[in-house]
Structure 1
Amino acid sequence: MSRGHRTVPHTADIALEAWADSREDCLAEVVKALVESFADAGSAAPGETVDFTAPEEDDEELLAALLEEVIYQLEVHGRLAVDVIAGPSGTGLRLVTVPAEAAEQVGATPKAVTAHDVRFGQDNGRWHARVVVDV
């Protein structure tokens, strides 16, 4: 199984790209890309989990909503998402978090997901995601 992520230069923002063999693994990779763009959780022990109910919309809206939830958890609850796993009974997703103060800030904190250039879908048997985030 192959999976990964990267950040791509983008004027005044940050573009994230991720890929994986499964939809859930691709979502986990893009969340990791977002978090690694501004924080290093190092060896912080995972703490709370947060259930995320996916919206009943298309894949791009799911991706944007998930990343907005990651930003919301950081801003409002001081939680930093370090992984995404399938929720109970295979429905929804679960964010695995650490306290934000356990991480070292290494970049600009994201403010929001842009409404343009969100892509998430399957191509040739592999899932791909691309999103631009305001910092």
Structure 2
Amino acid sequence: MSRGHRTVPHTVDTVIEAWADTREECLAEVVRALVEAFADIGEVVPDDSAEFALDEETDEELLLTVLDEVIYQVEVYGRVAVDVSVDEWTGATEGQIEVRLATIPMGAVDQVGAMPTAVAVNGLRFGREAGMWRAHVVVDV
């Protein structure tokens, strides 16, 4: 099993690249990379979660929606996502998926970078490539 992520230098934004064997693992890697760009979560254990269902239009829309929710949780509730799970087989309406973000309070982490403000739609890529799931995201800070 191969998975990972990295941030790539960019003029004023943060570029995240992630890869994994499955869509869900790749999505989790992108969330980890986004959070690591602004917070050192160390070995904290989540104490709450945010759950939401969404229509699965395209893989890119799924990625964009999840990352927007990660940013929203920080901005509105002061909560930092430390893990993500995607479930297509629970009580969600057919054609929907359920997403769960495991979270901790912002006060439980050290801020190490600029807070993200939005995810750019331009250049967003998320899909299978050369036998693996890969993501490329530009994050406004």
Q: Provide TM-score, normalisation by structure 1.
A: 0.94
Equivalence for 2:47 = 47
Q: Deviations over 1:112-135 (max 9, x none)?
A: 001201000001221000000000
Bigger Cα displacement from structure 2, 82-91 vs 117-126: 82-91
Equivalence for 2:106 = 100
Which of 95, 101, 113 pairs up with 2:119? 113
Q: Does 1:134 pair with 2:140?
A: yes
Equivalence for 1:6 = 6
Bigger Cα displacement from structure 2, 85-94 vs 15-24: 85-94
Note if contact 1:114-1:131 (Cα within 8 Å) is conserved in structure 2.
yes
**What's the CA shift for 1:61?**
1.3
SS in 1 for 2:135: strand
Residue 51 to residue 94, structure 1, CA distance change in 2 (3 Å): same
Number of matched pairs: 135
**Runs (5+) with no aligned partner, structure 1:** none
AA partner of residue 103 (structure 1): V
Percent sequence identity over aligned pairs? 59
Alignment of 1:31-46 (within 5 A): 31-46=31-46
Equivalence for 1:85 = 85
RMSD between aligned residues: 1.4
* CA distance in structure 2 between the aligned counterparts of 1:88 and 1:127, rounded to whole angstroms: 18
